[in-house]
Amino acid sequence: MRILVIEDDVNLNRQLADALREAGYVVDQAFDGEEGHFLGETEPYDAVILDIGLPEMDGITVVEKWRQAGKGMPVLMLTARDRWSDKVAGIDAGADDYVAKPFHVEEVLARVRALIRRAAGHSSSELACGPVRLDTKASKATVNGVTLKLTSHEFRLLSYLMHHMGQVVSRTELIEHMYDQDFDRDSNTIEVFVGRLRKKIGVDLIDTVRGLGYRMQAPDDVH
């Protein structure tokens, strides 16, 4: 899962990005509204954390422009404490949720998890497919109750596939959601990661759809 953090406070931006990376996400960072708006319009993100008070272009305008352009990714707005009018303006402009400053990073992480989950149509924080369970809260996966030892890439891959169970996901889509903008992307590596992940899971749950990509079986398909 790939997240964009737009926050002009350098320390806060870094703090959020570190915590998100620690939780298994890949993160792009922007420090002003214009740069952030550009990234959100050109790169696919699973969620965006957007500060309301930004240089170059304010957060309200950023989210408004994305929505006008048909961009539907979940947006979590960071607002100033006690500014209820900011919260209303943010939601009206198209933000999905907000957190008031100062906040605990854990709260931001929980809200981001919920936004990503809901955008993918899941209501529970634990996703299950046959014997495989993905705990989005603890960023870990188990097979028949045994914890899988996954690299960060493998975890991101499994997480993306499980959030989109039953759907065909192309290699390009996987790459775009597993790596940040600076990464040298090679679609052949996806095949290698899928191979390793299949081996670690040990159960045949990831189908190859010839010419299209991969599909994690929907829970109803698993016998």
Q: Can you give the binding site for Ca ion, defined by CB under 5 A?
A: 8, 51, 53
Smallest gap from residue 95 Cβ to Ca ion (A) = 15
**CB-side neighbour CA atoms (13 Å) of 205:** 27
Name residue 198's amino acid.
R
Smallest gap from residue 89 Cβ to Ca ion (A) = 15
Smallest gap from residue 11 Cβ to Ca ion (A) = 12
Task: Tell me whether residue 86 or residue 176 sits nearer to Ca ion (CB atom).
Answer: 86
Smallest gap from residue 82 Cβ to Ca ion (A) = 16
- Residue 140 and residue 10: Cα distance in Å, rounded? 29
Smallest gap from residue 83 Cβ to Ca ion (A) = 12
- Residue 104 and residue 185: Cα distance in Å, rounded? 34
Task: Tell me whether residue 14 or residue 118 sits nearer to Ca ion (CB atom).
Answer: 14
Task: Tell me whether residue 48 or residue 148 sits nearer to Ca ion (CB atom).
Answer: 48
Task: Tell me whether residue 53 or residue 131 sits nearer to Ca ion (CB atom).
Answer: 53
Assigned token pair, 102: 């100062």
Task: Tell me whether residue 31 or residue 193 sits nearer to Ca ion (CB atom).
Answer: 31
Q: 48, 20 in Cβ contact below 8 A?
A: no
User: Is 169 in a helix, a strand, or coil?
Assistant: strand
Assigned token pair, 139: 């960023």
- Integer angstrom CA distances of residue 20 from 10, 28, 32, 86, 111: 15, 10, 19, 25, 12
Which residues does residue 141 pair with via DSSP β-bridges, in sequence order?
Answer: 134
For Ca ion, which residue has the nearest CB?
Answer: 53
- Residue 189 and residue 171: Cα distance in Å, rounded? 10
Task: Tell me whether residue 20 or residue 57 sits nearer to Ca ion (CB atom).
Answer: 57
Smallest gap from residue 57 Cβ to Ca ion (A) = 12
